Structure 1
């Protein structure tokens, strides 16, 4: 079977220890979590985990099945990249002297639709939101100039089609 990128969406109650148990499911199968984000969801009092993995579809399906066995988990889904709309965010900290001395830095910022979020005497910070390959490309462009610090968020994603969780919860709320 062929390995692919999967975005796993998990809707759950927000309970202590759940993240640890979910990550344990990936650990037992020796699957590396490439990206992880946890936030409020569109449903009141329900959290949404977004986990990105690179594995075979059969493994993704089995992982989702195991995750759904957790008491606090309402529902879990997996999707291929072309079934989702997703973004990541990144911050780059660069020496301030480069902003004025290296014209190419300003072109990199402009060409990548990035923004400068702060400037001080010692450094400036660039913010960029985009897909993984866009952020990787900007990183490679800035690397020769020296990156003082770099941080990247986990993927945030929504599906192109309606999530079955909405219909499931509507039925639950009517009962």
Structure 2
């Protein structure tokens, strides 16, 4: 695939935990009229550093420029982008179905087993199941359950681990051993030419 063809990319950002980061990052995408398919933020493996996982459908050239632009934000320590083949990823989903459908219809029970869904709440009137997987699997189960009075459905944003990566924490530690800690905070070292953070 050449870099002019659009495909799904997972962008992983490591940022300082500061107020308003989601808004500032979202603005960079909206200014370029790029739709965010999925956005997740959570603590990372490095203390005090947050990790954003963003999914977009774009060309590699656009994604590369976008990551460079994002890295110019003072609080952004590093931006990586990867194709789906280069990450291990999952989405989580919750399904609410009538309990009587689960107990009385064998196909529903088989469906839930097939997709590895497990019950998290069982009540007389409804049961909530959870499952994790790729979007296609989650969508397939949703479509199947729609035939059995699916009451409610919600899917999480993507979470992803980069396959060929030793993690950001190790890179940060390596840098701190060779440079004063203040430099890390000031973000002077995190430009594209810096090989310290190549994963």
TM over 0.5: yes
Higher strand share: 1
Q: Which interval holds the TM-score relative to the shorter structure?
A: over 0.9
TM-score (structure 1 length as normaliser): 0.95
Where structure 1 has 5 or more consecutive residues not aligned to the other structure, the ranges are: none
Aligned equivalents of 2:157, 2:167: Cα separation in 1: 23
CA RMSD of aligned residues (A): 1.3
Count of equivalent residues: 175
Tell me by how many angstroms 1:146 deviates: 2.0
Inter-CA distance 88–43: structure 2 relative to 1 (3 Å threshold): same
1:60-79 mapped onto 2 (5 Å cutoff): 60-79=63-82
In structure 2, the residue matched to 1:100 is 103
Partner-residue secondary structure (3-state), 1:35: strand
Q: For each residue in 1:92-140, what CA deviation from the matched residue of structure 2 results, as whole angstroms up to 9, or x when unmatched?
A: 0011111112111101011111111111011100100111111111111
In structure 2, the residue matched to 1:140 is 143
Larger Rg: 2
In structure 2, the residue matched to 1:9 is 12
Q: Which deviates further from its counterpart, 160-169 or 56-65?
A: 160-169
Where structure 2 has 5 or more consecutive residues not aligned to the other structure, the ranges are: 180-199
Aligned equivalents of 1:164, 1:129: Cα separation in 2: 23
Aligned equivalents of 1:67, 1:161: Cα separation in 2: 22
Give 4+ residue runs of structure 1 displaced > 2 Å after superposition: 163-168
Tell me by how many angstroms 1:147 deviates: 1.6
TM-score (structure 2 length as normaliser): 0.84
